[in-house]
Structure 1
Amino acid sequence: MNDKGPATADAPKKPMTVLQASFIGVGAMVGAGIFALLGAAGAVAGPAVWLSFLIAGAICALQGYSFARLGSSYPSSGGMLTYLAKGFGEGHITGIVSWLFYMTGAIVAAMVATSFGGYASAVVANDNPGWAVAFAVGLVIVMTLLNIVGSTAVARVQSLIVKVVLAILSLFAIVTIMNWDPSLLNPAGYPGLREIISSVALTFFAFLGFGVITFTAKDLPHPVRQLPRAIYLALAIATTVYVAVSLGVFGTLTADQVVEYGATAMAEAAKPTLGQAGYVLMVITALFSTAGAVNASLYPSTGMTRHLAETGQFPRAFGRQIGRRAPVGLVVMALLTIFMITALDLNSIASLGSAVALLIFSAVTASHFKTYRETHASLIVLVVALVATLGTLVVFTMTTLVDEPKTVIAFVVILSAACLLEFVWTGVRDRGSPRPASGDQADSR
């Protein structure tokens, strides 16, 4: 398979538009994170959380520039992993990051599905833990079946979910901002620059899903033009929503109240004007946003594993289908997600996705330095993007991971597992038949 180039006039129509592709990214970003982040970020940055979101969005825009230039030059079902291979080749670095990305996708999907289960259980089962797990597993199964149906169904459902979430969050932002107390956002009450920068590492978590958009290239009619537009549009939407919501919340409640209320801070901020309906709206938003995030987390697995199987980075079985319909890569990720939901304490490693994603983003941008002449990217922008991303990772490690030893242990375990899988698989592969040569692989030599 060679999905590198743009579609020609005679090419068959593909099932996804720029807006739908951007909604895949928005759905992955605007998940449960916004609910949990406000309290955690407020404890560090106080009423300046909106500024933290703005800075985090700017850093992601720099990363988005790198991804957009790469996507315009190398549109592929392998997404950002194709970009990595273009710079570092099909060696161990690309293999380790590929396994890392695949496992992290399952971890993030499990974490978000667990949040969905918690909200659903609170509504219909009085916070029963058993029902929470059942709802989480049920969501993964439903979204897996949706992805088996095809990318057209994924795009349509995701568009519906994102539209509902954005409509409710927009209403929330408008209502709270119209009735806010400007004195609560007085810059005189902001903490120092160090605290604001530290909170950026937390708010960056809310943007991690935008990399999923790179995997939509296979479903876009003209990915060379459309992929960059989808990336920039998704980041613009997410940044606007995050800034507006944080202004509304911190303009209605004091920073101490936001920290105290935690995940329910948005519901509490809506009560002065919307009453109990505000609480109901936030629960609905949480259910829709977490469902969309699980859908978006599972979506890349099909094209990604097929591409990696063709290039020899993954076993060939990952490129096959069960019953001529269900992609093996998708089914394995779904099963891995369900295992994590039922067997792991995901709350104790809640920051793992952030740490791994920052590492992967940094690796992709670093690989871009070897191909920037082909992509016609600005070297200065790439340097700034890499420094900003690595800086965020360093700050995140110093301010968050130091207080989460279980997350550090989980990070070491998953990194070790990725290395083990890569070296074991390449050993088996090299002793067996020659690696298959795909269009993408041949071009990267």
Structure 2
Amino acid sequence: MKKGNISVFGAAALGVGSMVGAGIFALLGQAGAIAGTATYLSFFLGGVVALSSGYSYSKLGATFPSSGGVIEYLQQGLGRNAYSGTFSVLFLLASVISMAMVSKTFGSYAGNLIIDPCPQWLQNTLTSAVLVVFVGLNFIGSKAVSNAETYIVIAKLSILFLFMIASMQFIEWQNFAPSSYPASNSILGSLAITYFAYTGFAVITNTAADMSKPKEQLPKAIFLAIGFTILLYVGLSFVVFGSLSVADIIKYKETALAQAAMPVFGVLGFTIISVAALLSTSSSLNANLFSTLKMSEKEAQEGELSKLFIKLLWKQGTVGLLIIGFMVLIMANYMNLESIAALGSIVTLIVTFVVHVGHYRIKKKTGVSTSLLLSAIILNAGTILLFLNYLIDQKSYFILLALGSILIGCFLFERFYLNKQRKIQDQSS
């Protein structure tokens, strides 16, 4: 693609397609279980945090246009050392967690289309099946799936937007009386979950090299994409919580969006929203699997992962693809959606926070506004602390233990294994 071929609107459309993916189908119910009828407020505030991060990323993307994205920004901000390596591996794990959430969401919606309530074994079977299919497609390099991506994005956005507009007249606005809100620490604690639904904005930075004036166009594209997505998420929150009780949303939190269509549109509405969820999760899984594979290959080539990740097995399939697929499979089948969403949210926030801190070290190179960058750092840090506080209050020790283990594991892996591998490479060259 030639420089100048991507417009502000085109880049924003790419970001909206990425953000309004599987996350909203899975995370709306998860956020609702924490924030209750104030979930719309949580999505709005999560969007504000995303806007601050988007500004920082836009400056980095315009200055360092690279397909490496976050990994490139970590290396630029922290240098190529054990710290950037640790958080690069952590970012890779965040992508694996995200794919586990997507796969599990597919299994939930597909299972409930077949039988309601759906037994766990059937959900797990469908979760595993969709993952195996897309790992297989990435082995042979299916162009058909890639070409269908644009049509899937248009279809799912059209369904969600029409559903939101059509449902507005049936909303019971008394459900949103402030007296019905949970405690403020629950609302603020849910920000990490709602922020997770916006993290697809980072893909917009990959278009910088194809813009005629990236320093001007990239921030506009990111703000436009996040702004539109805020409106959609807040609108859908009103629809869901204006149609269902909080108790029902907690009961059906894995398929809350489809359940919200039942009171007004009946079984047909449930089916249409579920089909949109299946389209969205399928396309999201395919895109994430492809991008995570490319990211792991880049890390392996730079000595931040084992060379096994780039060892070819058959056609385009590598050992890395099998490793990633296996990790997603285990996580999706042995963790519940709530745990996956919580872990993915906090890990993603930590990586984003570190990117902003690294950005501060090179702010003269990017020309970023110091006050706006500091706002991004403070908002991300605050969101992390609020979520950790919520997890402690809820005695979610498994999530805290898993988070600590992942952070320590990534550092030890980088510090001992990868550092040793790089020394071996340096001696042989």
The residue type equivalent to 1:109 in the other structure is: M
What residue is the counterpart of 2:24 in the other structure? 30
- The answer to whether residue 99 in structure 2 is matched with residue 105 in structure 1 is no
Change (3 A) 1:347 1:256: closer
Task: Kindly report which structure 2 residues correspond to 1:185-334, keeping only aligned pairs within 5 A, or say none.
Answer: 185-187=176-178, 190=181, 194-214=185-205, 216-217=206-207, 221-222=210-211, 225=214, 228=219, 231-255=222-246, 257-259=248-250, 261-323=252-314, 325-334=316-325
Which residue of the other structure, out of 319, 331, 343, is the alignment partner of 1:340? 331
Preserved contact between residue 36 and residue 263 of structure 1 (Cα < 8 Å): yes
How much has 1:394 moved relative to structure 2?
Answer: 0.4
Using the TM superposition, name which of 242-251 and 197-206 deviates more.
197-206
How much has 1:381 moved relative to structure 2?
Answer: 0.6
Change (3 A) 1:36 1:418: same
Task: Kindly report which structure 2 residues correspond to 1:380-395, keeping only aligned pairs within 5 A, or say none.
Answer: 380-395=371-386
Which residue of the other structure, out of 38, 44, 51, is the alignment partner of 1:61? 51
CA–CA separation in structure 2 for the residues paired with 1:307 and 1:132: 34
Preserved contact between residue 110 and residue 126 of structure 2 (Cα < 8 Å): yes
The SS at the match of 1:400 is helix
Preserved contact between residue 20 and residue 155 of structure 1 (Cα < 8 Å): no
Change (3 A) 1:31 1:333: farther
Change (3 A) 1:145 1:229: farther
Runs of 5+ consecutive residues of structure 1 not aligned to the other structure: 1-5, 438-445
Provide the TM-score with structure 1 as the length reference: 0.83
Preserved contact between residue 61 and residue 235 of structure 1 (Cα < 8 Å): yes
The SS at the match of 2:243 is coil
Change (3 A) 1:94 1:100: same
- The answer to whether residue 40 in structure 2 is matched with residue 40 in structure 1 is no
Change (3 A) 1:31 1:152: farther
Change (3 A) 1:137 1:380: same
- The answer to whether residue 164 in structure 2 is matched with residue 173 in structure 1 is yes
CA–CA separation in structure 2 for the residues paired with 1:20 and 1:86: 25
The SS at the match of 2:260 is helix
The residue type equivalent to 1:63 in the other structure is: S
Change (3 A) 1:410 1:191: closer
How much has 1:75 moved relative to structure 2?
Answer: 1.6
After superposition, give the CA deviation of every residue in 1:294-319 in whole Å (9 maximum; x if it has no partner): 23432322332232233332234434
Using the TM superposition, name which of 116-125 and 244-253 deviates more.
116-125
Change (3 A) 1:76 1:409: same
Preserved contact between residue 104 and residue 353 of structure 1 (Cα < 8 Å): yes
RMSD: 3.2
How much has 1:193 moved relative to structure 2?
Answer: 5.1
Q: Percent identity?
A: 29
CA–CA separation in structure 1 for the residues paired with 2:212 and 2:409: 33
Change (3 A) 1:382 1:302: same
Using the TM superposition, name which of 404-413 and 364-373 deviates more.
404-413
Which residue of the other structure, out of 103, 117, 129, is the alignment partner of 2:120? 129
- The answer to whether residue 372 in structure 2 is matched with residue 378 in structure 1 is no
- The answer to whether residue 96 in structure 2 is matched with residue 87 in structure 1 is no
Preserved contact between residue 391 and residue 400 of structure 2 (Cα < 8 Å): no
How much has 1:419 moved relative to structure 2?
Answer: 1.6
CA–CA separation in structure 2 for the residues paired with 1:389 and 1:435: 41
The residue type equivalent to 1:81 in the other structure is: I
Aligned length: 420
How much has 1:86 moved relative to structure 2?
Answer: 0.3
How much has 1:186 moved relative to structure 2?
Answer: 4.1
CA–CA separation in structure 1 for the residues paired with 2:16 and 2:229: 10
